[in-house]
């Protein structure tokens, strides 16, 4: 049974952030998505879940993936805690105006630079001088990130040699690097889910460029030093044992306390100046495509005042 | 809000619980009490359940907005997935020879 009306799906900010599973099978039975292992069957609340993280020893069926995609739940396959592969559904909206706006901004160098500046400004306490070049800002940002790591290292007394990990050998990395990787996997997953859920493209990045997840890296970087870096150092200082699972547990509480799921989309809209819809046409869509995704969309008509004419209409006139 | 579900417990326990919470369905109780009273009711039910099962759920300020605990014989267990409480249905014990 497909979701007919997207309004049935809880808003991202009201939902659950992520669920990490390993060693079991994910299947669909009697319309429920369930995780099965020797212990029994665990029912997964997919409609309110943003990200499902599948660790080692999991297998998932065609029916389960279909249901997850339909319910706007992002799936990450993680190889030993690091994310290896993503599967995304179509998100929880059929409205295209955010994607159009994102593409417009990314394609125009001057407007793209404005967004990039706003993204950097978002991370700095002090006002950035408009005279600074992008190269200078990048230098300041590099120094800021280094300071954040050094400060967290000093505050929690965790030895810090720099970010180092071998993608092929998870357990070869030191506990702090594993903690950071696990925390960032959660943060990136949530940012990715938020981006898809609102109808943006994960591939059209502003600061990052050239990869299918460039925009995910842009958004995750807004929060890293404030959220996941201190958390990873704090938990590693407590104990080097089982850092990954403890980090994921702590991330859940932190993201809830910081209302991250509610903030991500507001922050993106702010950075892309999308707090107001682009044109009158998008502001009061005569058809709500989320109530019925099968409704015809509008046609582009630059001569019209709101740039659109109704779709699903034959404009051929009367040829009798 | 507090929800309690009692299965196969003495009638007197259900009767007593109805002084604090309403019982819209046999064995299902809903109401709003303080944290301390909630714990007292929980202990009372655990003491006097006989062989029955008890479930208590109440609103909290975590991601799920509630917490659940169970006691006694229930075929479903609450499992914690790194801070997310989900329900595990245990496999049926086949009594085949």
Minimal C-alpha gap between B93 and chain A (Å): 11
Please identify which residue in the block is written with the tokens 């046999």: B26
Whether residues B63 and A45 touch (CB distance < 8 A) is answered with no
Q: How many residues does chain B have?
A: 97
The Cα B56–Cα B48 span in angstroms is: 15
Q: Is the pLDDT of residue B71 over 90?
A: yes
Cα within 13 Å of Cα(A220), Cβ side: 21
Is any Cβ of chain A less than 8 angstroms from the Cβ of B90? yes
Q: Is A166 helix (H, G, I), strand (E, B) or coil?
A: strand
CB A44 within 8 A of CB A52: yes
pTM of the model: 0.81
- Which residues of A define the annotated binding site? 141, 208, 221
Q: What is the dihedral of CA A230, A233, A238, A243, to 10 degrees?
A: 110
CB B85 within 8 A of CB B96: no
- Hey, what are B60's tokens? 């909290």
Whether residues B89 and A44 touch (CB distance < 8 A) is answered with no
Whether residues A253 and B83 touch (CB distance < 8 A) is answered with yes
The Cα A30–Cα A28 span in angstroms is: 7
What are the respective helix, strand and coil percentages of chain A, to the nearest 5?
Answer: 45, 15, 40
Which whole-number Å values give the CA distances from A23 to A101, A162, B92, in the listed order? 42, 32, 21
Which whole-number Å values give the CA distances from A186 to A69, A116, A179, in the listed order? 19, 24, 11
Domain boundaries, chain A: 9-88, 97-271, 286-320
Average pLDDT score, chain A:
85
Minimal C-alpha gap between A250 and chain B (Å): 8
Is any Cβ of chain B less than 8 angstroms from the Cβ of A285? no
For residue B63, what is the nearest residue in chain A, using CA coordinates?
A256
- CATH fold of the domain at A97-271: 1.20.120
Residue B87: what pLDDT? 93
Minimal C-alpha gap between A29 and chain B (Å): 13
Average pLDDT rounded to a whole number, residues A208-223:
93
Select from B62, B64, B90 the Cβ nearest to the Cβ of A40: B90
Chain B residues touching A253 at Cβ < 8 A: 62-63, 83
Contacts (Cβ under 8 Å, ≥6 apart) of A72: A9, A47, A89, A90, A91, A92, A196, A197
Please identify which residue in the block is written with the tokens 């819209």: B24
For residue range A157-168, what is the model confidence (pLDDT) as tens digits? 999 988 877 766
Residue B97: what pLDDT? 44
Q: How many CB pairs under 8 A join A and B?
A: 48
Chain B residues touching A58 at Cβ < 8 A: none
Q: Is the pLDDT of residue A305 over 90?
A: no
Hey, what domains does chain B have and what are their CATH numbers?
A: 2-89 (3.30.70.240)
Whether residues B83 and A252 touch (CB distance < 8 A) is answered with yes
Is any Cβ of chain B less than 8 angstroms from the Cβ of A40? yes
Q: Which of A12, A13, A14, A16 to mutate to test the interface with B (most CBs of B within 10 A)?
A: A16
Minimal C-alpha gap between A136 and chain B (Å): 40
- Which residues of A define the annotated binding site for Mn(2+)? 141, 208, 221
| pLDDT band, residue A289 (cuts 50/70/90) | low
Q: Which CATH architecture has domain A9-88?
A: Ribosomal Protein L15; Chain: K; domain 2 (3.100)
The Cα B33–Cα B17 span in angstroms is: 12
Residue B67's beta-bridge partner residues?
Answer: B58
For residue range A13-62, what is the model confidence (pLDDT) as tens digits? 788 999 999 999 999 998 889 999 998 999 999 999 988 988 888 999 99
CB A153 within 8 A of CB A171: no
Whether residues B81 and A17 touch (CB distance < 8 A) is answered with no
Minimal C-alpha gap between A110 and chain B (Å): 40
| pLDDT band, residue A10 (cuts 50/70/90) | confident
């Amino acid at each position: 049974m497909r979701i007919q009306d997207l309004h049935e799906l809880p808003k991202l900010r009201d939902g659950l952030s992520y669920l990490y599973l390993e060693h079991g099978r994910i299947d669909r039975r009697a319309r429920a998505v369930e995780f099965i292992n020797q212990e029994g069957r665990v029912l997964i609340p997919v409609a309110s879940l943003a990200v499902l993280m599948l660790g080692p020893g999991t297998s998932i069926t065609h029916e389960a993936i279909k249901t997850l995609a339909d319910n706007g739940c992002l799936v990450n396959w993680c190889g030993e805690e690091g994310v290896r592969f993503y599967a995304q559904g179509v998100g929880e909206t059929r409205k295209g105006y955010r994607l159009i706006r994102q593409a417009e901004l990314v394609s125009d160098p001057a407007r793209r630079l404005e967004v990039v500046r706003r993204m950097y400004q978002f991370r700095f306490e002090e006002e950035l001088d408009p005279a600074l070049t992008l190269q200078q800002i990048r230098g300041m940002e590099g120094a800021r990130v280094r300071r954040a790591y050094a400060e967290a290292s000093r505050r929690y007394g965790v030895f810090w040699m720099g970010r180092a990990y071998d993608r092929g050998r998870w357990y070869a990395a030191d506990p702090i690097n594993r903690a950071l990787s696990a925390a960032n996997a959660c943060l990136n997953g949530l940012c990715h889910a938020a981006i898809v859920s609102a109808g943006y493209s994960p591939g059209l990045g502003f600061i990052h460029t050239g990869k299918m997840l460039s925009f995910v890296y842009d958004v995750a970087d807004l929060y890293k030093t404030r959220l996941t870096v201190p958390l990873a150092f704090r938990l590693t200082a407590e104990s080097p044992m089982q850092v990954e699972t403890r980090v994921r547990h702590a991330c859940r509480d932190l993201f809830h306390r910081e209302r991250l799921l509610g903030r991500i989309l507001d922050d993106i809209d702010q950075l892309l100046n999308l707090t107001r819809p682009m044109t009158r046409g998008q502001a009061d869509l005569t058809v709500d495509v989320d109530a019925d995704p099968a409704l015809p969309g509008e046609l582009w008509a630059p001569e019209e005042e709101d740039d659109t004419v109704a779709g699903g209409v034959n404009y051929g006139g009367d040829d009798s | 809000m507090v929800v309690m579900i009692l299965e196969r417990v003495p009638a007197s326990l259900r009767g007593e619980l109805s002084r604090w919470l309403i019982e819209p369905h046999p064995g299902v109780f809903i109401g709003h009490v303080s944290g301390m009273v909630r714990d007292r009711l929980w202990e009372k039910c655990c003491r006097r359940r006989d062989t029955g099962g008890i479930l208590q759920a109440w609103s909290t300020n975590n991601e799920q907005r509630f917490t659940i605990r169970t006691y006694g014989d229930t075929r479903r267990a609450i499992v914690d997935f790194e801070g997310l409480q989900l329900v595990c249905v245990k496999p049926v014990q086949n009594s085949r020879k």
